[in-house]
């Protein structure tokens, strides 16, 4: 049964425990395995991919199996319902529309003495998207990663996903990929897939940025290859924090909490409410909705370990607790959600009002569902078009403009003990050339 806490110190301790649930020292134990996989793929390429796919996924592939074939891509359309195809298309449309807002644009500005400064934005050359697979099917993950890469203008996008039984890749995933514009898909997952994208193999191209969520091995692999390639973030288990007042509906809140818990036994679902009656009702509703839940065992586990209801005195206090936790998803199920917004400092995505369940954002409202977890919302943001772009600073000085700052630069260069820095300006301002 979902615990109810009313004491603030206890609440802070519990939130800290839940937030830190993945900062476990036992994670380090997996690092040796991951490092070994990375090294093997770096050295042996495709051969190592086949080896680890047999070992970890139980699928015996040949090199020719690695890339999903055109006929498999086509056939996937026959395996999904018209309804699902429509839903995928609606999601793609909304995600694209949102991600086309405020795409960074290059700019220059002209200053005194013909100084030109600016920024020039360009997409990365190649992006690699990781999509979890095996027995699971996450077409939404495909779209949330592929659409921003497309909008950014990335010329080459490849996707990797582990094979399920009989080497198959889920049909919904293949359809979502094609609807999002991805044609190059490889049947490989785990740390070995991350290694392939980071270092390249004969079959799989080396990319510049790797995005997408995965299990702890995938996340560790992403951390280790970061610096060789860019990554989106280190995704941990999902979490929601709901702030609710007496106007909230306990049935809806219970469903939202279970929608989080059903992802993963390590998922977290937290309600912070000013209404102790509501707290009790949500507790009962969660029990109720769990009874015939399709994923009952896993979901109960998450609720038991990382489910929590905190009763507070005011919405201000609720906001402060939420800021401490810095949740991935924050729902404001209160009468005036926009009024509380100014007190929220850290949250990956904020869902306002009783008619905005997180599921709307998970699938098709448009904003990205790849969000910072485990308190990373203190410093990080959703995956976006920016994840697939970078900029170059632009600087042009004229002889006159350089002359004016020559002395200041020389003084600074001398203070830092860097004589050629000073020379590079002095020689120009004196108009010196080689004899």
H helical segments located in 245-398? 250-261, 276-291, 296-306, 315-325, 337-340, 358-363
Segment 71 to 110, residues that bind a copy of itself, using CB under 8 A: 80-81, 83-84, 86-88, 90-91, 98, 101-102, 107, 109
Q: Is 353 in the site for a copy of itself (CB under 8 A)?
A: yes
Residue 61 or 115: the one with the smaller Cβ distance to a copy of itself is 115
Total residues binding a copy of itself (CB under 8 A): 132
Residues 162, 250, 265, 307: which binds a copy of itself (CB under 8 A)?
Answer: 250
Question: Residue 273, interface with a copy of itself (CB under 8 A)?
Answer: no
Interface with a copy of itself includes 229 (CB under 8 A)? Answer: yes
> Exposure of 298 by Cβ count < 10 A (0-12 exposed, 13-18 middle, 19+ buried)?
middle
Question: Which C-beta is closer to a copy of itself: that of 187 or that of 263?
Answer: 263
Q: In the chain, what is the greatest distance between 2 CA atoms, to the nearest angstrom? A: 89
What is the rounded CA–CA span in Å between residue 314 and residue 316? 5
Residue-wise burial string across 300-320, b where 16 or more C-beta atoms lie within 10 A, e elsewhere: bbbbebbbbbbbbeebebbbb
CA 240 – CA 243 distance, rounded (Å) = 10
Residues 126-145 that bind a copy of itself (CB under 8 A): 136-140
Q: What track of x and - describes contact with a copy of itself for positions 36 through 65 (by CB under 8 A)?
A: ------------------------------
Catalytic residue of the set 329, 333, 346, 369: 329
Residues of span 356-395 touching a copy of itself by CB under 8 A = 356-368, 371-372, 374, 376-382, 386, 390-395
Write each residue from 157 to 196 as x if it is in contact with a copy of itself (CB under 8 A), else as -, in one continuous string. Answer: ---------------x------------------------
Residue 153 or residue 181: which is nearer to a copy of itself going by CB?
A: 153
- Cβ 316 vs Cβ 243: under 8 Å: no
The two tokens of residue 74 are: 């086509």
Give the contacts of 196 (CB within 8 A, at least 6 positions apart). Answer: 41, 45, 49, 160, 186, 188, 203, 204
416 carries a ligand binding annotation: yes
**Closer Cβ to a copy of itself, 54 or 75, answer by number:** 75
Which of 33, 288, 314, 343 contacts a copy of itself by CB under 8 A? 288
- Of 68, 75, 76, 43, whose CA–CA distance to 189 is shortest? 68
192 annotated as ligand-binding: yes
Structure tokens at 83: 């309804």
Confirm whether 328 is a catalytic residue. Answer: yes
User: Least separation, in Å, of the C-beta of 391 and a copy of itself?
Assistant: 5
Q: Report d(CA 279, CA 298) in Å as an integer.
A: 23
Kindly list the catalytic residues.
328-329
Binding-site residue numbers are 130, 192, 215, 238, 260, 263, 329, 362, 416, 421
């Amino acid at each position: 049964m979902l615990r109810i806490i009313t004491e603030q110190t206890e609440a802070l301790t519990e939130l800290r425990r839940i937030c830190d649930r993945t900062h476990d020292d036992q994670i380090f134990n997996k690092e040796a395995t991951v490092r070994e996989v990375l090294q093997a793929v770096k050295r042996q390429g495709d051969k190592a991919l086949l080896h680890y796919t047999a070992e970890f996924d139980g699928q015996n592939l040949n090199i020719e199996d690695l890339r999903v074939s055109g006929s498999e891509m086509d056939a996937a359309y026959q395996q999904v319902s018209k309804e699902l195809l429509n839903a995928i298309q609606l999601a793609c449309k909304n995600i694209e529309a949102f991600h086309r807002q405020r795409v960074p644009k290059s700019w220059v500005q002209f200053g005194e003495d013909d100084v030109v400064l600016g920024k020039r934005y360009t997409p990365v050359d190649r992006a690699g998207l990781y999509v979890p697979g095996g027995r699971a099917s996450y077409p939404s993950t495909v779209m949330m990663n592929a659409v921003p890469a497309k909008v950014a203008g990335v010329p080459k996008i490849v996707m990797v996903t582990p094979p399920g039984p009989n080497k198959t890749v889920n049909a919904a995933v293949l359809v979502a990929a094609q609807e999002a514009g991805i044609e190059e898909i490889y049947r490989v997952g785990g740390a070995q897939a991350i290694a392939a994208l980071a270092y390249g193999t004969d079959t799989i191209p080396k990319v510049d940025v790797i995005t997408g969520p995965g299990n702890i091995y995938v996340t560790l692999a992403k951390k280790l290859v970061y610096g060789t390639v860019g990554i989106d973030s280190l995704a941990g288990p999902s979490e929601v924090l709901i702030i609710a007042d007496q106007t909230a509906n306990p049935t809806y809140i219970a469903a939202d909490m279970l929608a989080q818990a059903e992802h993963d036994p390590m998922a977290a679902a937290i309600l912070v409410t000013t209404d102790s009656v509501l707290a009790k009702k949500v507790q009962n509703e969660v029990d109720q909705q769990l009874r015939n839940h399709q994923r009952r065992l896993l979901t109960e586990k998450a609720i038991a370990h990382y489910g929590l209801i905190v009763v507070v005195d005011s919405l201000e206090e609720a906001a402060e607790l939420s800021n401490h936790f810095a949740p991935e998803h924050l729902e404001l199920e209160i009468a005036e959600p926009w009024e509380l917004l100014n007190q929220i400092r850290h949250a990956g995505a904020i869902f306002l009002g009783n008619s905005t369940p997180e599921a709307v954002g998970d699938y098709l409202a448009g904003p990205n569902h790849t969000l910072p977890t485990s308190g990373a919302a203190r410093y990080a943001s959703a995956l976006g078009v920016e994840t697939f772009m970078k900029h170059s600073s632009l600087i042009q000085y004229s002889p006159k403009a350089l002359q004016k700052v020559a002395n200041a630069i020389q003084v600074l260069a001398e203070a830092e003990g860097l004589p050629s820095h000073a020379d590079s300006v002095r020689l120009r301002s004196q108009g010196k050339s080689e004899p």
